[in-house]
Structures are given as structure tokens and as C-alpha cells.
Amino acid sequence: MRVLLILFGVLLLILGCKDTVISKPQNLIEEDKMENIIYDLALLEGIKSYNPGNFQNIKSNEYVYKKYKIDSLQFVKSTQFYASDISKYKAMYERVQKRLDDKKNPLDLFFKKATDIQPKKEEQKRIEK
């Protein structure tokens, strides 16, 4: 009985650790287009979280589906396919992160300059008096 349990455990480990790659969907979104979709979704969600009042009615996913002429099932299946190869998926997200950082740095500099130009609270009170 003990030997049977050990064999069953070993078999379970072997089958459980098998690398299963999801088969390529028929209407797979190309990698560069998928990267653009992820980028747009991240950007839209960031905008919504920064200013939720003005953008609460915007449905990011629906907008992106229309823009790229895809549907939700195609997006999900393509995401699953790319996520099955973790190194490729990670590289895709790193490129998206780099694009977001490249866009963010000039905006940070702009907002820093804008706040530097505005008078400080103490100076504003003296100006108002």
C-alpha cells in the first residue's frame, strides 16, 4: 500500500510539473499589436485612476476593442497564449513599461516646472494682501 502511494505521488509530481503550452488560437493578435493594446489599457486605466470623476464612464476595454477591431474572446485567448510563454510575456510587459516611463518622464518635468513657477503659499498670501 505504501509503495502504491509513493508511486501515485511520483506520478502526480511528474504530470503536475509538465510544461503545457497553450495551442496558438486561430485569430491570434500579433505580438506588436498586443503590446500596443496592453499599453493603451495601462494608459487609460492610469488616467481613470488619476482623475476618476471625469473618466468614470469610460470603459477602457470597449474602447480598445473598437480601436484595434478585436473582441473580448480574441483578446483573452491571445493573452492566455502569450502568458503561456512567461519569458516572452515578461519581455512584452517590460517594453510596455519602458514606453510608459518614456511618456511619464517629460510629463513629470513639465509638472515640476509648472509648480516651480507658481508662487508658494506664503508668497501668494502676500500678493493677495
For 40-56, write each residue's pLDDT tens digit. 998 888 877 777 676 67
C-alpha cell at 62: 470597449
Measured distance CA(72)–CA(78) in Å, rounded: 10
Q: CA separation (Å) from 122 to 111, 127, 129?
A: 20, 9, 11
Query: What angle is formed at CA 80 by the lines to CA 96 and CA 72, rounded to 5 degrees?
Result: 85
Query: Where are the chain's structural domains?
Result: 28-112
Taking alpha carbons only, the member of 112, 46, 33 closest to residue 74 is 33
- pTM for the full model? 0.66
For 22-39, write each residue's pLDDT tens digit. 788 999 999 999 999 999
- Going by C-beta distance under 8 Å and a sequence separation of 6 or more, which residues neighbour residue 85? 21
